[in-house]
């Protein structure tokens, strides 16, 4: 890509003198309730917000305060997470069930209230209990505050592209059945673009997302992967895309013809309508490397140029093979952050906490009366450093931290795995002595403002797999990533300490590793977990307990009066 050199740094414009415009309070009401919708030749009852799938798009400007009144009129316990929001001194609004709050029980309400500062771009909101986020989700778009602009030419239009995953069943039933049997849950039957499967699926001709474009104009697509359990390749026939941001952090503009996106991640791309007038498919299917069965279907939407013959068949892109790890790795590893943009911060140089954390699948011993349909007659589990997280049931972790309540969690999450072995050697896939992970509630406690570096190392236990690891409350820098076992001497030389990509969710390479670094400058309890819901439910998670700082403005505030009780 032959971009002028200056474009590789942040170039932004201050327009006029209106940058002092006062921050607004943006208020929404979420009615969360049953919605019956027709998909794939049948009627299905789903849980949805305000009667739509995806739910409402929230638009704010950086500096605004967002207030969302959530009325749970669904039959399920519910919480909402504001994925990627820093929640500075507002951890009570973060949302993961039993981590920062007890769930909102059916018939009750809770108001999430928080200020959005020092971040802009595409984020999203979703349910954070059971598998409800499959249908309870939507875009959360943070624009630059008044008087500021994007570090790229203003697009003609901005379009959220929410990628989802569909079951012809209640998703709560699907996960509950898996948890009851100890086996893997049923695969989904479709992927969706803005709630619609697209015309490759039966009965879906009129359920195909369509984007009308004008030749010569540029569109900002804000792509969100809201799928539960699958990373996705996304492509538009005959068009290149320019990546300008990921996870609400600007990137060096990078031209690509394919996007790979993991659940939890967002990718902002510029689409230039520079092709002959016509219709072009956008399409997505899974990026999967495990030997298991998976949803191998393809979702489509249509880019239709003004003046095109809409009865002609759109041109279809050729998606990478499902297991095309080289393409995924090239895309993921080539991104860098755009230096000196608004909200950009230099990489912290001094590390206080060095952690080496294995991530992967595990087993839970088959209990006396349990059904055990995992492998080897046991139950599936998943773990970090061989600890499989079990959430409390009577008090959230954050309430326990705030109230000094003992017996809810311990702070002995280990900085290293209990055994060092050849982590990615597939000969050890079935090594019984390494497979079983205890069910515990071990968290990692860190001092306020300390800098944490974590090597995330995938294991080959049961199977290697690309796990998208998400951290609540903070963005981290991704210093390096690679395949095989991380080697400190060799791989620390590869660290990008100048302009590494900044994210809240990192897809740790299949059978490989990634090194992340962040400064824990916000007190609270911050969940860290795999964003494949199947693995989250199996315990691939822990949390950081970030202690209070020295001043009133660095201490955890009391909970809001309406915080749900267990």
Ligand X SMILES: *[C@@H]1O[C@H](CO)[C@@H](O)[C@H](O)[C@H]1NC(C)=O
The smaller minimum CB distance to ligand X, of residues 124 and 423, is found at 423
Is residue 176 close enough to count as binding ligand X by CB under 6 A? no
How far the first Cα of the chain sits from its last, in Å, is: 55
SS (H, E, C) 364-382: ECCCCCCCCCCHHHCEEEE
Candidate segments 9-17, 216-224, 307-315, 435-443, binder of ligand X by CB under 6 A: 307-315
Q: Are strands 218-225 and 299-305 parallel, antiparallel or unpaired?
A: unpaired
Q: Is 156 left (phi over 0), alpha (psi -120 to 50) or beta?
A: alpha
Is residue 352 close enough to count as binding ligand X by CB under 6 A? no
Among ligand X, Cu ion, none, the one that 467 touches (CB under a kind-dependent 5 to 8 A) is Cu ion
The smaller minimum CB distance to ligand X, of residues 57 and 548, is found at 548
Is residue 323 close enough to count as binding ligand X by CB under 6 A? no
- Where in 433-462 is the site for ligand X (CB under 6 A)? 449
Is residue 432 close enough to count as binding ligand X by CB under 6 A? no
In the complex, least distance from residue 22 CB atom to ligand X, rounded to whole angstroms? 26
- Where in 454-493 is the site for Cu ion (CB under 5 A)? 467
CA dihedral 534, 290, 453, 502 (to 10 degrees): -80
SS (H, E, C) 463-513: CCCCEEEEECCCCEEEEEEEECCCCHHHHHHHCCCCCEEEECEEEECCCEE
Is residue 482 close enough to count as binding ligand X by CB under 6 A? no
In the complex, least distance from residue 550 CB atom to ligand X, rounded to whole angstroms? 7
Candidate segments 20-28, 237-245, 379-387, 486-494, binder of ligand X by CB under 6 A: 237-245
Among ligand X, Cu ion, none, the one that 530 touches (CB under a kind-dependent 5 to 8 A) is Cu ion
Distance CA 199, CA 207 (A): 7
Give the list of residues 6+ apart from residue 200 with CB closer than 8 angstroms, or none. 297, 298, 299, 300
Give the list of residues 6+ apart from residue 314 with CB closer than 8 angstroms, or none. 237, 278, 279, 280, 281, 302, 303, 304
- Where in 391-430 is the site for ligand X (CB under 6 A)? 403-404, 425-427, 429-430
- Where in 532-561 is the site for Cu ion (CB under 5 A)? 532, 535
Nearest to 232 by CA among 136, 298, 301, 303: 298
Is residue 327 close enough to count as binding ligand X by CB under 6 A? no
Is residue 530 close enough to count as binding Cu ion by CB under 5 A? yes
Q: How far is CA 411 from CA 444, 545, 554, in A?
A: 5, 8, 21
Tell me which residues touch ligand X (CB under 6 A): 1, 34, 45, 75, 77, 102-103, 105, 203, 205-206, 238-240, 252, 254-255, 257, 296, 309, 311-312, 330, 334, 367-369, 375-376, 403-404, 425-427, 429-430, 449, 521, 549, 554, 566
Tell me which residues touch Cu ion (CB under 5 A): 467, 530, 532, 535
């Amino acid at each position: 890509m032959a971009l002028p050199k200056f474009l590789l740094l942040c170039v932004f414009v201050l327009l006029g003198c209106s940058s002092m415009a006062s921050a607004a309070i943006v208020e929404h009401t979420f009615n969360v309730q049953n919605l019956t919708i027709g998909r794939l030749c049948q009627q299905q009852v789903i849980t949805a917000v305000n009667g739509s799938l995806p739910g409402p798009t929230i638009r704010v400007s950086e500096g605004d305060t967002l207030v969302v009144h959530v009325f749970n009129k669904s039959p399920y316990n519910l919480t909402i997470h504001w994925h990627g929001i820093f929640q500075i001194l507002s951890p009570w609004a973060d949302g993961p069930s039993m981590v920062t709050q007890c769930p909102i029980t059916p018939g009750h309400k809770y108001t999430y209230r928080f200020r959005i500062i020092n971040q802009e771009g595409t984020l999203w909101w979703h349910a954070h209990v059971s598998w409800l986020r499959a249908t309870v989700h939507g875009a959360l778009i943070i624009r630059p505050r008044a008087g500021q602009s994007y570090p790229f030419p203003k697009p003609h239009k901005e379009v959220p592209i929410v990628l989802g995953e569909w079951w012809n069943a209640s998703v709560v039933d699907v996960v509950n059945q898996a948890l009851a049997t100890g086996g893997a849950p049923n695969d989904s039957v479709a992927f969706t673009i803005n709630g619609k499967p697209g015309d490759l699926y039966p009965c879906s001709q009129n359920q195909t997302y369509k984007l009308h474009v004008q030749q010569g104009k540029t569109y900002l697509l804000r792509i969100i992967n809201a799928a539960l359990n699958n990373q996705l390749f996304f492509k538009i026939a005959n068009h290149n895309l320019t990546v300008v941001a990921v996870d609400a952090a600007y990137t060096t503009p990078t031209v690509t013809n394919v996007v790979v996106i993991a659940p939890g991640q967002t990718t902002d791309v510029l689409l230039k309508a520079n092709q002959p007038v016509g219709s072009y498919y956008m399409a997505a299917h899974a990026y999967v490397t495990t030997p298991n069965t998976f949803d191998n279907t393809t979702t489509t939407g249509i880019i239709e140029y003004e003046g095109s013959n809409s009865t002609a068949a759109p041109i279809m892109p050729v998606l990478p093979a499902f297991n095309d790890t080289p393409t995924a790795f090239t895309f993921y590893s080539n991104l860098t952050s755009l230096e000196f943009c608004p909200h950009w911060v230099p990489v912290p140089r001094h590390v206080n906490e060095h952690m080496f954390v294995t991530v992967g699948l595990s087993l839970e011993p088959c209990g006396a009366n349990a059904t055990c349909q995992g492998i080897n007659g046991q139950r599936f589990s998943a773990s970090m450093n061989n600890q499989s997280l079990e959430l409390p049931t009577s008090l959230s972790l954050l309430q326990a931290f705030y109230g000094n309540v003992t017996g809810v969690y311990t702070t002995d999450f280990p900085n290293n795995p209990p055994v060092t072995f050849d982590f990615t050697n597939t000969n050890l896939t079935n090594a019984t002595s390494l497979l079983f992970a205890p069910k515990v509630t071990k968290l990692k406690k860190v001092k306020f403002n300390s800098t944490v570096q974590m090597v995330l190392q995938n294991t080959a236990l049961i199977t290697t797999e690309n796990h998208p690891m998400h951290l609540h409350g903070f963005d981290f820098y991704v210093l390096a990533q690679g395949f095989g076992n991380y080697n400190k001497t060799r791989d620390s030389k590869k660290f990008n300490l100048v302009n590494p990509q900044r994210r809240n969710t990192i897809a740790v390479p299949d059978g490989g590793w990634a090194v992340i670094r962040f400064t824990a400058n916000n007190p609270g309890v911050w969940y860290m977990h795999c964003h494949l819901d199947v693995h989250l439910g199996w315990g691939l998670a822990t949390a950081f307990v970030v202690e209070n700082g020295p001043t009133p403005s660095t201490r955890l505030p009391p909970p809001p009066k309406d915080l749900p009780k267990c």
